[in-house]
Amino acid sequence: MNTLKEIFSYRQMISSLVRRDLRGRYKGSFLGFLWTFINPLLQLLVYTAVFSLILRTNIERYYLYLFVGLIPWIFFSSSLTGGAASVVAQKDLIKKIYFPRQVIPISYVTSCFINMLLSFIAVFAVMIVSGAGIYFPGLVCLPVIMAAEYLLALGAALLTSAVTVYFRDLEHILGIFSMAWMYMTPIMYDRSIVPQRLMPVFRLNPMTHVIECYRAVLYYKCMPDMKGLLSAAGLGIVFLVAGHFVFLKLQKRFAEEL
Amino acid sequence: MNAIEVKDITKSFRIYPDKGSQLKEKLLFRKRNRHEVRQVLKGISFTVEKGCSLGLIGHNGCGKSTTLKLLTKIIYPDSGEIKINGRVSSLLELGAGFHPDMTGRENIYTNASIFGLTKKETDARIRDIIDFSELGEFIDDPVRTYSSGMYMRLAFAVAINVDADILLIDEILAVGDANFQTKCFDRLRELKAEGTSMILVTHDLSSVEKFCDRAIWLNDGVICREGKAAEVVDAYYSFMNRRKAENSAPVPAVEEAPPAEETSPAPADDADEMDYSANRFGMRYIEITSVCMRDASGKDTRIFTTGDSLSIEINYKVNRPLDEYVFGFGFYTIEGACLYGNNTQLDRLKISPGTDTGTVAVDIPHLPLLAGKYALNAAIVDKDGTPMDFYRKYCSFEVVSDDRSEGYISIDHKWRTIR
């Protein structure tokens, strides 16, 4: 509880780190902040090309189907892999001054989150331009889904960032791990094509629920499956609590290990 | 009320001779991961009252900086307890977290946020911070364009203006020019008067004495002495002197003054041909073979204590006998200024050595030189002053002292008030 209070009192630091990160990310590049939109759009282009020209799915408006899942996934996977490196990257700060160490993964995940929110501008643009339209009642659920995903991402980042300090290989392992995770989550395909015996794995995967909730609201234009939403939020809280305790335990020797 | 209470803290560090944190290394070289444990702090307790300032002194590696890091919570103690009442600001690593591409003003906000200030709190202080940093219009330039002095001034200005209850300071005197340093000290005094507690870690003993109420002398992870700043500093000072003198190994003179044949220019046959600017010159009818300096205990050394006795022995060898020689010695500063010089002729002493080898010694019962490094000259000339063997800077030697006066010479004195 004290830790939470302390982290809250450092909210200014979180916000300045987030701002620094967002401003610094595309600094010096010609297109600058536009990359926030261009990058996911280009990724979308690649995947759409592969899946509608070569692997041919029969999903209607596949680009949108993919897009509404891909953007949340990019947020989660960058929190996982980038978040792992975040504490090590700030070692100068950690070795020199005191502040609650959680501030670093929190700011990193938050800046990824804001990036996702900005990318959603592109998502809505695609929805309107393509004529798919927006389902307004579903939008009420969107913040809840996002919050659940934020908790998940933060829990993962707390865990990986603390472990990476002691075990630097994790950063590289996570690269491949997050790729595998992406393919084990129904982002590019529908869960209906998943073999029945693999279904338990998919059900345990919190990102399955998250992605499907997004898709329900933004693609299928219906209310998300409440059970799925609740289990996503529940798993998010479990992730966060676990990540928090591991972080708390490991952070004591950060300054010595870095 | 106590601002800081430290109870019996210990801290060890793991020292890895060859650290591997990659998986491959962890699996393959499991043995390599064996580490030594070095205990840096071995049970330290102290308290700092509110508004009090404490100096931590001790030689390198005694645990001062570790103690400060523990107080800032950058690292945690293995055992023991640290209680801190109030906001801590540390001047340990000034400017940590500055972003080179952001302007000075933006960095003030970021840096202040690292100390736990909200934007509103920083807004209220920004004027003071900018004024103190003396950066003026440069405040809106990116920090990367700053000189290192400007950078430090800005960092110091932020750290000192966050209204901390406790300030931890590590070697602050490296900040800026003399004027800015004075300003920093004045500001620290003001803060102290307002009730800010401080802990100062430094090697500059005079600033501990001037600035701190109390001091702790750490040695090898334990508190060696604790008390009024001046007393602790004095005790530490004389301990360091003693240790320096004890640790000095006797120096064989040959090392510093190699035999004449090898390195010195050949003896001149004629006084006119002599190179007076050389380190060693002379006709060499008589030659200095070695000079040894003995301290009060008779040990051949190069470290002496002010007020103790010192003997200089000049060993010589006669090549061509003359009927009279003049032996002399001189003390010089390292820069080459003569502090004292004398010889047997000035002292009206006639020395007519035989035809062989021998030693002439001069005894100084109370060495009046103050702490510092000095050079010794030794010379033998004939009675008309023609150099026979003249050694400039035969060797250098060091003087340690409890007398902390300025200058080179210790002068006996006593103060009194007349009215």
Question: Per-residue pLDDT tens for B189-236?
Answer: 888 888 888 888 888 788 888 888 888 988 888 888 888 888 888 888
The mean per-residue pLDDT over the stretch B379-389 comes to 88
CA atoms within 13 A on the CB side of B80: 21
Contact A74, A116 (CB under 8 A): yes
Which of chain B's residues have a Cβ under 8 Å away from the Cβ of A7? none
What's the pLDDT score for residue B32? 55
Q: How far is CA B371 from CA A38, B301, B393, B405, in A?
A: 70, 16, 18, 9
A103-107, A215-219, B80-84, B93-97: range with lowest mean pLDDT: B93-97
> Shortest CB distance from B110 goes to which of A11, A20, A169?
A20
Residues of B in contact with A168 (CB under 8 A): 21-22
Q: In chain B, which residues have their Cβ closer than 8 Å to the Cβ of A166?
A: 21
Residue B87 sits at the chain A interface (C-beta within 8 Å): no
Distance CA B266, CA B274 (A): 10
Q: Which of residues 19-48 of B touch A (CB under 8 A)?
A: 21-24, 26
Which of chain A's residues have a Cβ under 8 Å away from the Cβ of B93?
95-97
Residues within 8 A of B (CB atoms), A 79-108 only: 92-99
Verify whether the Cβ–Cβ distance B99 to A168 is below 8 Å.
no
Question: How large is the angle between the packed helices A226-250 and A206-218, nearest 10 degrees?
Answer: 140
Instruction: Provide the number of CB pairs (under 8 Å) joining chain A to chain B.
Output: 76
Asked whether the beta carbons of residue A10 and residue B110 sit closer than 8 angstroms, the reply is no
pLDDT in tens, A184-203: 998 888 888 888 888 888 88
Contact B101 A27 (CB under 8 A): yes
B229-267, pLDDT tens digit by residue? 888 888 888 888 777 777 765 554 444 444 444 444 555
Helical spans, DSSP H, in chain A: 2-9, 11-25, 35-49, 62-89, 91-96, 103-129, 136-139, 142-166, 170-183, 199-204, 206-218, 226-250, 254-257
Instruction: Tell me the average pLDDT across B42-56.
Output: 87
Give contacts of A 142-171 with B, CB under 8 A: 166-169
Whether A97 and B72 lie within 8 Å, measured CB to CB: yes
The domains of chain A are located at: 2-257
Q: Which residue of B has its CA nearest to A164?
A: B21
> Quick check: A92 and B113 CB within 8 A?
no
- When mean pLDDT is compared across A3-12, A247-256, B17-26, B375-384, the lowest value belongs to B17-26
**Apex B189 CA angle, B186 and B190, nearest 5:** 90
> How much is the ipTM here?
0.71
Is A249 part of the contact surface with chain B (CB cutoff 8 Å)? no
Residue A77's pLDDT is 92
Q: What are phi and psi of B258, to 5 degrees?
A: -65, 160
Farthest-apart Cα atoms in chain A, separation:
56
User: Quick check: B298 and B271 in contact, CB under 8 A?
Assistant: no
Average pLDDT of the segment spanning A36-53: 82
- Region of B353 (left: φ > 0; alpha: ψ -120 to 50; beta: rest) is beta
The CA-based diameter of chain B, rounded to the nearest angstrom, is 91
**Residue B76 touches partner A, C-beta closer than 8 Å:** yes
pLDDT at B263: 44
Nearest CA in chain A to B24: A169
Residue B18 pLDDT > 70? no
Residue A99 pLDDT exceeds 90: no
- Distance from the B19 Cα atom to the nearest Cα atom in chain A, whole angstroms: 10
Q: What are phi and psi of B343, to 5 degrees?
A: -150, 175
Q: Does B126 touch chain A (CB under 8 A)?
A: no
Which backbone phi and psi does A86 adopt, to 5 degrees? -65, -45
Of A9, A13, A167, the CB nearest to B114: A13
Mean pLDDT confidence for A40-45 = 83
Tell me how far apart the alpha carbons of residues B373 and A131 are, in angstroms, rounded to a whole number: 88
Could you tell me the domains of chain B? 2-245 (3.40.50.300), 250-400 (2.70.50.60)
Question: With an 8 Å Cβ cutoff, is A20 touching chain B?
Answer: yes
Chain A contact set for B23 (CB, 8 A): 167, 169
Is some CB atom of chain B closer than 8 A to the CB atom of A5? no
Whether residue A106 is predicted with pLDDT greater than 90 in this model: the reply is yes
- Output the pLDDT for position A169: 86
CA atoms within 13 A on the CB side of A156: 26
Using CB atoms, which residue from A12, A15, A256 is nearest to B75? A256
Q: Is the pLDDT of residue A72 over 70?
A: yes
Q: What is the pLDDT of residue B22?
A: 59
Q: Could you report the per-residue pLDDT of A137-180, keeping only the tens digit for each?
A: 888 888 888 999 999 999 999 999 999 988 888 888 998 999 99
